[in-house]
Amino acid sequence: MSTASRDRILDAARANKPAELPLPTVPDFGGEATIERFTTVLAGIGGTVVRMSGLAELVPTLQQLFPEARATASPLFAASVPINAQTPTGILAAIDLAVLPGEIGVAENGAVWLPEANMMNRALPTITQHLALVLDQRRIVATMHQAYAQLPNTGGYGKFVAGPSKTADIEQSLVIGAHGARSLVVLLY
Amino acid sequence: MSHAIRADKFLLDADRTTWHDETLWFVREKRDRAAYGVPEFQELRELASGIKNHTLSRLDLYLQEFEAAAQANGVHVHWAADAAEHNAIILDIIQQQGATRIVKSKSMLTEECHLNPYLIKHGIEVVDTDLGERIIQFRDEPPSHIVLPAIHLKKEDVGDTFHTHLGTEKGESDPQRLTEAARQHLRGKFIAGEVAISGVNFAIAETGGVVVCTNEGNADLGVNLAAVHIACMGIEKIIPRLTDLGVFTRLLARSATGQPVTTYTSHFTKPVAGKEMHIVIVDNGRTQQLGRPDFRASLKCIRCGACMNTCPVYRRSGGHSYDFTVPGPIGAILSPNIDMKKHASLPFASTLCGSCTDVCPVKIDIHTQLYKWRQVLGEANEIPAAKKWSMKFMGRVLASTRVYGLGGQFARKALRLLPHGLTHAPSMNAWAVARELPEAPRQSFREWYAKQPQPATQLPNPKVPA
């Protein structure tokens, strides 16, 4: 590590920067914080919303949606594979379905905030073949401004997940299921 | 070699050029639909521009704030003055781990620093994990677009490449099946990866964390399975506050591909217990650009690629014709700062139509900077002699009414009398290589006007009410 380079970069930035300009205040633009909007937008990016009347419906809903899932992981019910931060990669790589609690849903883009504390293992939400996020419908906000305003901090790791993993790198053809989860369902209750 | 000569090669295949043009325009149209769907889109552009301008005006302070916050998070922070130092720092981290298997997600900075060949030379296996990047890595080509690195290739090309490298069936060109083959291949690489290298979309001074945006999930998979994460960022990636991301995440994907947001917007702030996280902060010419008042706004760029998708020259000349890590209009204003001589032709690869400036989510005055670089290059004697002297000559002609009139008379006669082969000779008249000169009229407008009955010398006084 070179402190000489650090000093050189900081000195050059100090010498070459323009006169100070003000930091704008970002307004809350309002917007539509509805389940309908969230559902439509998520469908447009390849995800699905499934409504539940309460958490009691979670297990039967999952059995209906993922009848084939053998290796499941979740902090919300007695899933088949116990997972924690130390779980070896080989076990993680065999997970068919992870069911994790999301914190905030964003109606304008279908994204759900998933903090580290909710994901059992940092690799789980992307290495699982299928991902289901369970979200309280009262936690839907209109925009990313409102989502960030609600985050106390981003913890060690956390992410907004908007739909399944996808790519259009071959001739701009949309393919769902690039490296991460092949499908994403948001279970709203 | 100039941009025009490299573009000629791209243009040899007319069908492919048309396809390239239409495909990128389609992305531009998707961008428009996404932008029009957000009523405050123009306000967001203004805010993004303002936040970036403010950050650049306090860049040294925000960099220090970021460094202190990152270190408090248990992250190792490194500083690299140039590409060579960046590469050496990364090799050192890898060697200290005794690692040889590296998975990398997309980072234009590591392309700029030519990290891959450097690591490979030192016996390290580097696997690019973004699908487009993996395709071009197999083909040993540079990316031709910063967001769509393999946009110059057709699915049949990818099929051939995967047949050679992944053993897919010969002639397979279905994107779904090709992507599945890459998924299976890269899963193995992710699981075996010892060190993960990622780029950085945004670095937050307030939290010391970095944000990486992908659609494929390759950064998350690579970083979270490896023991060590190295995030590489240019000094201009800094933003002050976490809440500023509200503005930038609303603009980035909409401007890039017309998506409402990228699939994953991942915040890497602290390493997990027992693992390491490193951030390499790189200058490589950026503080020099900060010191050029006419060009410093180029440092606001968030690498969305919207200026490429809209550019009539980029769409019809391809990313490789720019011969620079970042092609298109933004590349044409960044590259002369790095090497003015080598990239002297790029600011001329533009019609100055201004479409790039219109779509830029952080309001960089790209076409104005292209025009200003031309002046700088002219002053520095970095433009070809033929262009320089013909421009000087035209400047004289257009500056004098008399010379212009005489020149017009001469040109009209010459065009009528001289053979087509001479007036359109490519060696004499580069303009006419792909164009036809108009038929010369008998007289100019001025000559015609002079022959018309002269109007009254003084206009009648308008009636002014008393």
Give the residue from B173, B250, B295, B262 showing the smallest Cα distance to A161. B262
Contact A143 B267 (CB under 8 A): no
List phi, psi (to 5°) of B281: -100, 120
Asked if CATH classification 2.60.15.10 holds for the domain at B40-284, the reply, yes or no, is no
Count of Cβ atoms closer than 10 Å to residue A41 Cβ: 23
Rg (C-alpha) for chain B, rounded Å, is 27
- How many residues can be counted in chain A? 189
Confidence of residue A105 (pLDDT cuts 50, 70, 90): very high
Q: What is the pLDDT of residue B254?
A: 98
Contact B216 A173 (CB under 8 A): no
Contact A16 B183 (CB under 8 A): no
Contact A9 B287 (CB under 8 A): yes
Residue B171 in tokens: 């002639």
B31 by DSSP, 3-state: which?
A: helix
Contact B180 A159 (CB under 8 A): no
Nearest to A145 among B175, B191, B246 (CB): B246
For residue B52, the 8-state DSSP code is H
B124 by DSSP, 3-state: which?
A: coil
Query: Does the CB of B272 have a partner CB in chain A at under 8 Å?
Result: yes
The pLDDT of A91-101, averaged and rounded, is 98
Say whether pLDDT at A1 is over 60.
no
Residue B445 in tokens: 């407008």
**B385-399 helix and B401-417 helix, angle to the nearest 10 degrees:** 120
- Mutate which of B194, B215, B239, B290 to disrupt the A interface (most A C-beta within 10 Å)? B215
Chain A residue with minimal CA distance to B212? A159
Q: What is the pLDDT of residue B386?
A: 82
- Whether the CA torsion B69, B74, B75, B77 is positive or negative: it is positive
- Mutate which of B138, B215, B233, B263 to disrupt the A interface (most A C-beta within 10 Å)? B263
Task: Compute mean pLDDT per 10 residues along chain B, 466 residues long, and list them.
Answer: 94 96 97 97 98 98 98 98 98 97 97 97 97 97 96 97 97 97 97 97 98 98 98 98 98 98 98 97 98 97 98 98 97 95 96 98 98 95 88 92 92 89 84 86 90 75 65
Q: What is the pLDDT of residue B438?
A: 85
Query: Does the CB of A16 have a partner CB in chain B at under 8 Å?
Result: yes
pTM to 2 decimal places: 0.94
Contact B246 A144 (CB under 8 A): yes
Q: How far is B212 from chain A (nearest CA, A)?
A: 9
Task: List, in order, residues 6 or more apart from B420 with CB less than 8 Å away.
Answer: none
How far apart CA A101 and CA A118 sit, in angstroms, is: 6
Task: List, in order, residues 6 or more apart from B133 with CB less than 8 Å away.
Answer: B104, B106, B143, B149, B150
Nearest to A180 among B27, B216, B270 (CB): B216
Residue B360 in tokens: 């830029």
Contact B63 A9 (CB under 8 A): yes
Query: Does the CB of A127 have a partner CB in chain B at under 8 Å?
Result: yes
CA angle, B248 then B236 then B382, to 5°: 120
In Å, how far are B17, B314, B432 from B12, measured between CA atoms? Answer: 8, 15, 18
CB pairs under 8 A between A and B: 269
Which chain A positions have a beta carbon within 8 Å of B295's beta carbon?
Answer: none
Please spell the DSSP secondary structure of B224-291, one letter per residue: HHSSEEEEEEEGGGEES-GGGHHHHHHHHHHHHTS-SS-SEEEEE-SPPTT-EEEEEEE-TTHHHHHT
In Å, how far are A82, A122, A125, B188, B263 from A89, measured between CA atoms? Answer: 13, 11, 13, 11, 23
- In this prediction, the answer to ipTM > 0.90 reads yes
Domain ranges of chain B: 1-37+301-383, 40-284, 397-450
Chain A residue with minimal CA distance to B183? A179
Which chain A positions have a beta carbon within 8 Å of B244's beta carbon?
Answer: 26
Secondary structure of A150-171 in HEC code, one letter for each residue: HCCCCCCEEEEECCCCEECCCC
Query: Does the CB of B105 have a partner CB in chain A at under 8 Å?
Result: no
For residue A182, the 8-state DSSP code is S
Contact A159 B265 (CB under 8 A): yes
CA angle, A124 then A126 then A130, to 5°: 90
Chain B residue with minimal CA distance to A176? B176
Q: What is the pLDDT of residue B464?
A: 67
